[in-house]
Structure formats: C-alpha cells, structure tokens
Amino acid sequence: MDLVKVGHWAFFLGLLLSIIAGFGGEISSLTPILIVLGLIVGLLNVSEKESTPFLVSVVAFLVVGLAGLETLKFTEWLVPILNNIIAFVAPAGLIVAIKQILMTAKSS
C-alpha cells in the first residue's frame, strides 16, 4: 500500500472516529489516537498546493471549536465532535505549517 493511500485512510478514520466518539461524549483515550492520525495526515496527505486551503480550514475549526459553542443550548451535541476534530486536525495543521515554513526558507 502506498503512502498516499495511508494518508487518505488516516484522514477518513480520524474524521469518522471524531464524529462517532463525539456522539458518545469525549473519550480521553481517543485523543492520542486522533493526534497520531493527524500527524500522519499532515505528513502524508497534504501536498504543497493544498497547504494554504488546509491551514485556513484548520484555523476555522480551531476558532469555531474554541468559540464557546457550549453556551448555545442547541449545540451541546456538537461540542464533543468539534473537540475531537480539533484534536485530529491541530497536529496535521502543525505539520503542514512546519512544512510550509521549511519550503519558504528553502526557496529564499
């Protein structure tokens, strides 16, 4: 199996686990799994061309997840899902941001 397929499966599995576990509440043992999957996605699944849109999406998830949606009564089911997705995409965003910085420094 090539590395691109591993990255795609890691992305799919991370999102699926984030959503499914979110409906059951936050699961502390799931966070390290989501972090590892996020690191795999950041390393294998995001090309240089996709970096900027991916980083903008990561920032959007972080802002929405940290915006205090728990204060809205109709979103109590959404908060654990967003927390899980943040645990998944934040490491991927970190890896992609580091890759972008290195590419920028290399081209200078």
Is the pLDDT confidence value at 81 over 90?
Answer: no
Q: Which domain holds residue 28?
A: 3-107
Reported as a single tens digit per residue, the pLDDT across 37-79 is 999 999 998 888 889 999 999 998 888 877 766 666 667 778 8
Domain count, the chain: 1
Secondary structure letter of residue 25 according to DSSP: -
Residue located via tokens 């509440």: 25
Structure tokens at 41: 């996605």
